[in-house]
Structure 1
Amino acid sequence: MLRFTVLILALANAGYYAWAHGLMPLGQSTSSAEAEPQRLAQQLHPDALRIVPKAGAGTPAPEEAPSTSTATKSAPVAATPPAASPAPAQAPTPAPTAPTAVPTPTLTPAAIAVTAAAVPALALAAAQSESKPEAKTPAKAEPSAICLQAGAFNAAQADVLRRALGSSLPADSWSLSNATLPGRWMVYMGRFPDLNTLDKKRKELQARDVPYDRPQIAALEPGLSLGRYSTEEAAERALAQLGTKGVRSARVVPERAETPAFVLRLPAVAPDARQRINATLRRALAGKTLRPC
């Protein structure tokens, strides 16, 4: 039974195939000559195909020209036999793929407005950068001149110093002004008859923790100075303080009387010239040094 069914289906399929391909026309007789125009009418014409750009690509489509495809579409299709089904259409030949055009970017009205608003700001910034002067590095300030002075000098020392200044410095760069050298008083022990007595007094002062030095005056040698003071009253107070430490033989003597003197003044000296002036006037300064005014 199954074999009989399979055989019937095979025969039915073969008959349909023959009828569909015009090999076994049924009902209405149709010759092979009449079937050929039908096949030709169903064919496509590749030479009449046109590539139409995608909508929105920004490139307008060229004007349509009349082609054979239009005529083909308008031509009536030959009538097929009423009892026959239409033959399956032949698959169209694929047309060659054309390169897709790159869409041109378009600016929206909002983007155009933003760009137009940014142009004046950019132009203003460029103008400011061009008109802005270049920053100059501030020049390094040169050290200013300083005022120096030295003294006081007695009359003989002032004469020696004046000759040295005249031969080494311009006349308008220095001055020797008159001054008064105040008197000075000393708490003094001496004058001792010999050096042994001097050594004995030194040991006594060391034991009492009292500082001392030489008087540096030939008329007071050999002796000891226990302090120098600008006024006699100050010297007397110092002597009374030493009495509390057991010092009994000291007294107050004038070390220097009030005498006229001279003070050297250099009002404007360059910092790099200070050492040179010191070296030039070393002997004439009599052991004194230049110091700020």
Structure 2
Amino acid sequence: MLRLAVIVLLLANAGYYAWSQGLLKSWGLAPEEQAEPQRMDQQIRPETLQILRVNPGKTSPSSTGTSPSSSAAPGSSSGTATASNDAASSSSPPPTATESAECLQAGVFDERQAEALRTAAAPLPQGSWVIDPTPVPGRWMVYMGRFEDQEALDRKRSELRARKVDHDRAGGTLELGLSLGRFASKDAAERELANLATKGVRTARVLQERPDTAGFTLRLPAVTDALRPQLEVLRTAMAGKSLRNCG
């Protein structure tokens, strides 16, 4: 059965091929021809038709060449844009550099000096200066003295040098006397006094050289080149102190 089906398909394909190729035309079996002979009759002098070879090295001027007007147009447009940019650049003002400023300060000043500074700084621009409270902590000293005269002081110095104990003049109202060390707290001074006792120092004592006092610092947060010459008004009131960078 399968063999018969294959034979039928082969015969059908062979018949279709013969029909489509016009092999059965003599039997009246052929597809309809798609021909239009009337178009051949409409040709005008077909014998004058010639086939020319194109030279690839030559191109049409119209395809490759650009007209002067078209080539000049981009240039003129570019020139116009450049001129516009130059005009914009010349009309815009040059940028100004940001003025630099630095923070300066001086001190510490006591109450009287701070009041003099406030008076001297009054003509300066508002907000260009400030006086900050800066408390000054007290100071303690391991002290020997007061000695009767310079001779007694010199004898004590010789004795301390022999014991290899550092010392210097007490200064101020504590003359004639010797300082065996200055400290920020009473406890630190008393510890040093106990240490000196192990070296044979017996007559020294701890006293407060300077009590806690109110102090003030002059601060100029933004000193510019324009402000700097105006600071001369502060020179006298600064009591010999100089301005330094804020730390």
TM-score under structure 1 normalisation?
Answer: 0.45
- Is the Cα–Cα contact under 8 Å of residues 191 and 222 in structure 1 kept in the other structure? yes
Which residue of 2 is the match for residue 226 of structure 1?
A: 180
1:237 aligns with 2:196: no
Amino acid at match of 1:228: R
- Is the Cα–Cα contact under 8 Å of residues 120 and 233 in structure 2 kept in the other structure? no
Which residue of 1 is the match for residue 103 of structure 2?
A: 146
Secondary structure of the corresponding residue to residue 168 of structure 2: coil
Q: How does 1:27-38 map to 2 (within 5 A)?
A: none
Describe the shift of the 1:164–1:265 C-alpha distance in structure 2 as closer, same or farther (beyond 3 A): closer
Which residue of 1 is the match for residue 237 of structure 2?
A: 281
Describe the shift of the 1:142–1:176 C-alpha distance in structure 2 as closer, same or farther (beyond 3 A): closer
Query: Offset of 1:144 from its aligned partner?
Result: 0.8
- Is the Cα–Cα contact under 8 Å of residues 131 and 219 in structure 2 kept in the other structure? no
Distance 1:233 1:129 in 2: 81
Amino acid at match of 1:214: R
Describe the shift of the 1:114–1:249 C-alpha distance in structure 2 as closer, same or farther (beyond 3 A): farther
Larger RCO, structure (CA 8 Å, separation 6 or more): 2
Secondary structure of the corresponding residue to residue 227 of structure 1: strand
- Is the Cα–Cα contact under 8 Å of residues 168 and 280 in structure 1 kept in the other structure? no
Q: How does 1:61-210 map to 2 (within 5 A)?
A: 109=59, 113=64, 126=79, 129-130=82-83, 131=85, 134=89, 139-154=96-111, 157-158=112-113, 161-163=114-116, 165-167=118-120, 169-170=122-123, 172=126, 173-176=128-131, 178=133, 180-207=135-162, 210=165
Which residue of 2 is the match for residue 77 of structure 1?
A: none
Query: Offset of 1:216 from its aligned partner?
Result: 2.5
Describe the shift of the 1:225–1:115 C-alpha distance in structure 2 as closer, same or farther (beyond 3 A): farther
Describe the shift of the 1:175–1:252 C-alpha distance in structure 2 as closer, same or farther (beyond 3 A): same
Which residue of 2 is the match for residue 251 of structure 1?
A: 205
> Per-residue displacement from partner, 1:138-184 (whole Å, max 9, x unpaired)?
54443314242422414xx24xx524642564274545555543222
> Per-residue displacement from partner, 1:74-107 (whole Å, max 9, x unpaired)?
xxxxxxxxxxxxxxxxxxxxxxxxxxxxxxxxxx
Query: Offset of 1:201 from its aligned partner?
Result: 2.7
Query: Offset of 1:200 from its aligned partner?
Result: 2.4
In structure 1, the gaps of 5 or more residues are 1-107
Query: Offset of 1:240 from its aligned partner?
Result: 3.8
Distance 1:201 1:281 in 2: 42
- Is the Cα–Cα contact under 8 Å of residues 146 and 270 in structure 1 kept in the other structure? no
> Per-residue displacement from partner, 1:230-283 (whole Å, max 9, x unpaired)?
211222233344455554433221112224x2414343444634862453324x
Counting matched residue pairs gives 177
Which residue of 2 is the match for residue 75 of structure 1?
A: none
Distance 1:120 1:205 in 2: 102
Describe the shift of the 1:247–1:109 C-alpha distance in structure 2 as closer, same or farther (beyond 3 A): farther
